[in-house]
Amino acid sequence: MSTVKIKIDGQELEVAAGTTIIQAAHEQGINIPYYCYHPGMVPDGNCRVCLVEVEKAPKLVVSCKTPVADGMVVHTGGEKVEEGRKGVMEFMLVNHPIDCPVCDQAGECKLQDYYFDYDLQDSRFKESKVHKRKVVELGPNVMFDAERCIMCSRCVRFCRDVSETNELGLFNRGDRTEIGLAPGATLDNPYAMNVVDICPVGALTSRQFRFQKRVWFLEEQASTCPGCARGCAIKADFDPAQNRVYRIRAAKDLDVNGYWMCDDGRFTAARDAENRLLQAILPAGETNAATWLLESWQAADKHTIVVDPGQTNEVYERVARLRDAGAEVRVSEGLGTAAYAVEEDDFLISADKNPNRAGLQAILGEVPAWDGKAEGLVLAIGRDPGNLPAGAILLSPWLPASAVSAIPIASWWETDGTSTNLDGISRSVQAVLEPTADVLQACSWLGRLQPAEDEA
Amino acid sequence: MTQILLDFDPTGNCWSMEDYKKRGGYTALEKAVKMDPVELRELVKASGLRGRGGAGFPTGLKWSFFPQETPYPKYLCVNADESEPGTFKDRYLMEYDPHKMVEGAIIALWALHADACYIYIRGEFDLCETRTWQAIEEAYAAGYLGDNVLGTGRAMHMYVHKGAGAYICGEETALMESLEGKKGQPRIKPPFPAVVGIFGGPTTINNVESVAAVPWIVNNGADAYRAFGTEKSPGTKLFSASGHIEKPGVYEVPLGYPLKDFLEKECGGVWRGKQLKAVIPGGSSVPVLTAEEALDCMLDYEDLAEKGSMLGSGGFMALDEDTSMVTALRVLAHFYADESCGQCTPCREGTGWIYKVLVRIEQGLGSWEDLDMLLQTADNMTGKTICPLADALAMPVQSYVTKFRDEFEECIRTGRPVAPRTYFS
């Protein structure tokens, strides 16, 4: 692969041929502002905010579309560039409604951020702004405000190139341009909410998240999505004061999901927060879950562990240890495709709606399926498979489906660990929320039953 | 004066193949297909013919960029999306002499070794479309187009593609986007059309008038073409004259012709005994000239550029003493604001903003900061956009507000709207 030598802001760099200036700059941590550029899509060059000065070029160039050339000298700052950027920022704000007090994007809005970083001029616009539709249902999950839109076309390009569903287009021209739906279309493809992630302003908003919480009250935690075996990298935005996840966004992982995730995955946190088991359900007369569990385990001479494919690798390692000590292991079905709109596609969505079957197979090998029949004590971990025998013990984040004893454990969102996706790639699962007081980690319970040599 | 382009009698059936052949039509094509394409390209280069659409880029030089080795089909596009305000010369040529354009285009296809020509005609030009298709069909029937043109073994095809009412589709990359069925938004260059044009293949885009001049050059030679015009602007040019003149119309004059003579002789002078106030020599996108400046100019690329304007498309408009330059600029600004494609920020927002400010000034609601702000905004739009539409508004704004500043200031000072023009005073 050939390289060229260039200079950006006085720094000498050797860059792969074909890289654009903005990519080269970002690799070095040099900040060039942008709206329409997105590293996961073909650059468009229409916002004109990423203008930089290239020596010997007659005009400022857009760094997102200009490939590096040998000997190129680039300035990302300086008077010319600053004047250019200020000019473009002024134009951006000319017709933009100052909706900040009611706009969800406030606090994470690139218009706000770049205004403070690069502009800071009073408005000179005394005319009437262009008015457009403000509350448009584009689809079941996405709302659109045409006035706020800066026509960067990221959403149009996403639907054209990434989801390949072409629901969105640009209609009319000039300052009357509006994003709109193709005739007869709805924005309901399985990846529709990615356009909310990538919209740099508050034009596209999630119908579930809008007006729920100001983003400066939220903290961000990276983790892995439990929606299916793809295990997309995600960012969970949660309110630590309420211990609740408000929003899930896609995170970048070039080996797993690129920059995107499916809509179903965004609802997994809300799904997992329902029907929580928060206090142990023990047989009459028992009050201490820990002692009762240990006694029951030690009293039985045969043990069967039923584990679902949605646990972390660390849980499976503990199960392996218990199997080495003599327990039988079975795998339950976990979640099927029934509740999902899309079974499977050739992009991200896997037909296996459980996040860690690959990890289970890697650690426990071929495990027979659970068929409801077992000898001895049955200890189930994860979702209630529905066919546990009487006298079984369920370790689960959720309420049991039948009248078995149950001990609460932390959910995926409250767990630290690792999981392996369908391509064999392992990633961290990081706790986003704090489990409530009586809820312990599954690993902790399993560890008590069979401590490791160095843990006894 | 010898007419290279306007050699037809518009009162007769001059658009037919029969009439065209009587005037010596298609002899140039028969000559051209016996020439080596390289030789033909050199001939056009030597003639000094410059693009007649507005940019004035040497046609022969543009043809020399065209790659010969490529796995893709090669295309010629004739830009018949004439939408520059004040310009109607291509319309005239297509309505009355479409064969000239067709023959010129076939010669260009031969010279470029290209496979097909698309004539992109503006959506509003119904008659042009009809007559052009007719001419193409006649050319196919005569063997001038088809799978084996004039027995040479080369296949050359020609099609008309109709636009849908957008000035921006006259910009070459927006034209290509529209031709491909997409929204007419300009592409970023590089890559240039000669490298990646329509449908991914190398494409040369020429104006109607440029292509129509080619048959005469092939028949008469480069030196004969250079006998007209000036050294840097050889040949003749069509000017569509309109405005406050006695004889509006399309006229062909050699380049370098004095503007004063054009106004007095061809245009019949300013109408109704009025005094000249301003001249727009080359379509509304060029800087305006005051009467004093204009009467000193020659109609060619260099002289007008030196005097601060441009030859552009040759859309010649004369404005008389009763014209309000504030109104004139407002009308122009409305055009650009309406026609901006909206792709890039400075033009999309800037054209609309400038228009609104001018409306306000014209209504007597302007304030003193507005003038300098107009100039600054025009400056902010310049050089930062994907295509020159923003510059096409910025240049008039800068020239009108600078050269006729007193009129703008009068509106602001008096606070009264500009009085509408009464035509029958």
Split chain B (425 residues) into runs of 10 and give each run's mean pLDDT.
Answer: 86 93 94 94 95 92 91 96 96 96 97 96 96 96 94 95 95 96 93 94 96 96 94 94 96 95 96 95 95 94 94 95 94 96 95 96 94 95 94 96 95 88 66
CB-nearest to A48 from B339, B344, B369 is B344
Ramachandran quadrant class, A351 (left: phi over 0; alpha: psi -120 to 50; beta: rest): alpha
Sign of CA dihedral A139, A141, A146, A149: negative
Whose tokens are 């029934």? That residue is: A338
pLDDT tens digits, one per residue of A409-435: 999 999 999 999 999 999 999 999 999
Give A160-212 pLDDT, tens digit per residue: 999 999 999 999 999 999 999 999 999 999 999 999 999 999 999 999 999 99
Q: Which residues is A168 bridged to in the sheet?
A: A181
* Burial of A255 (C-beta count, 10 Å sphere; 0-12/13-18/19+): exposed
Q: Is the pLDDT of residue A1 over 80?
A: no
CB within 8 Å of B56: residues ≥ 6 apart = B50, B233, B301, B311
CB-CB: which of B348, B350, B386 is closest to A45? B386
User: Considering only CA atoms, which of A274, A261, A209 is closest in space to residue A230?
Assistant: A261
Q: How many angstroms separate the CA atoms of B392 and B85, rounded? A: 11
In this prediction the ipTM stands at 0.91
Asked if residue B316 lies in contact with residue B282, where contact means CB atoms within 8 angstroms, the answer is yes
Report the alpha-carbon angle B290-B295-B296, nearest 5. 105
Alpha helices in A36-115 (DSSP H): 79-94, 110-114
Mean pLDDT (chain A) is: 94
* Residue A455 confidence (pLDDT): 55
Q: Do B384 and A51 touch (CB under 8 A)?
A: yes
pLDDT at A453: 63
Judged against a pLDDT cut of 80, whether residue A250 lies above it is answered with yes
Which of B185, B195, B335, B343 to mutate to test binding with chain A, by most A CBs within 10 Å of its CB?
Answer: B343
What are the pLDDT digits (tens) for A35-68? 999 999 999 999 999 999 999 999 999 999 999 9
CB–CB contacts below 8 A, A to B: 93
- Contact flag B340-A91 (C-beta cutoff 8 Å): no
Give the pLDDT of residue B424: 57
Contact A150, A46 (CB under 8 A): no
Q: Is A161 on the interface with B (CB under 8 A)?
A: no
Q: Residue B79 pairs with which residues in a beta bridge?
A: B120, B207
Q: Look at residue B162 and give its three-state secondary structure.
A: strand
CA distances (Å), B379 to each of A51, A87, B136, B171, in order?
16, 9, 45, 21
Exposure of A306 in the CB half-sphere (CA atoms within 13 A): 28
Distance of residue B136 Cα from the nearest chain A Cα, in angstroms: 33
- CA B214/CA B107 separation, integer angstroms: 8
| Neighbour count for residue B87 (Cβ, 10 Å) | 27
Q: What is the pLDDT of residue A31?
A: 92
Residues of B in contact with A125 (CB under 8 A): 353
Residues A92, B351: C-beta atoms closer than 8 Å: no
| Percentage, residues of chain A above pLDDT 70 | 99
Q: Under an 8 A CB cutoff, do B341 and A47 touch? A: no
Q: Judge if the upstream peptide bond of residue B190 is cis by omega within 30 degrees of 0.
A: yes
Exposed / middle / buried, residue A418 (Cβ in 10 Å: 0-12, 13-18, 19+): middle
Give the separation between CA A239 and CA A247, rounded to whole angstroms: 10
Pick from A47, A48, A1, A40: nearest CA to A23: A40
Contacts of residue B330 in chain A, CB cutoff 8 Å? none
Dig out the tokens for A346 from the structure: 């050739």
Q: What is the tens place of the pLDDT at every residue in A77-123?
A: 999 999 999 999 999 999 999 999 999 999 999 999 999 999 999 99
> pTM higher than 0.80, yes or no?
yes
- Within A128-254, residue ranges assigned H as helices are 154-157, 194-198
Q: What is the pLDDT of residue A66?
A: 94
Dihedral over Cα of B85, B90, B94, B95: its sign: positive
Write the CB contacts of B55 (distance below 8 Å, at least 6 apart in sequence): none
Measured between CB atoms, which of A84, A87, A175 is closest to B342? A175
What is the band of A341 on the pLDDT scale with cuts at 50, 70, 90? confident
**Could you count the other beta carbons within 10 Å of the beta carbon of residue A182?**
14
Do A195 and A222 form a contact (C-beta atoms < 8 A)? no
The rounded distance, in Å, linking the Cα atoms of B170 and B312 is 13
Q: Which residue type is seen at A289?
A: A
Of the candidates A372, A405, A443, which has an alpha carbon nearest to the alpha carbon of residue A296?
A405
Q: For the residues A11-32, what does the mean pLDDT come to?
A: 94
Burial of B69: CB neighbours in 10 Å, binned 0-12, 13-18, 19+: exposed
| Token pair 């292509």 in the structure block, residue | B211
| β-bridge partners, A398 | A276
DSSP string over A282-326: --TT---HHHHHHHHHHH-SSEEEEE-TTS-HHHHHHHHHHHHTT
Q: What is the pLDDT of residue A211?
A: 96
- Contact list, A169 vs chain B (CB under 8 Å): 183
Tokens 């689809």 appear where?
A139
The answer to whether A156 faces chain B, any CB pair under 8 Å, is no
pLDDT band at A246 (very low <50, low <70, confident <90, very high): very high
Q: Quick one: CA torsion of B350, B354, B356, B359, rounded to 10 degrees?
A: -170
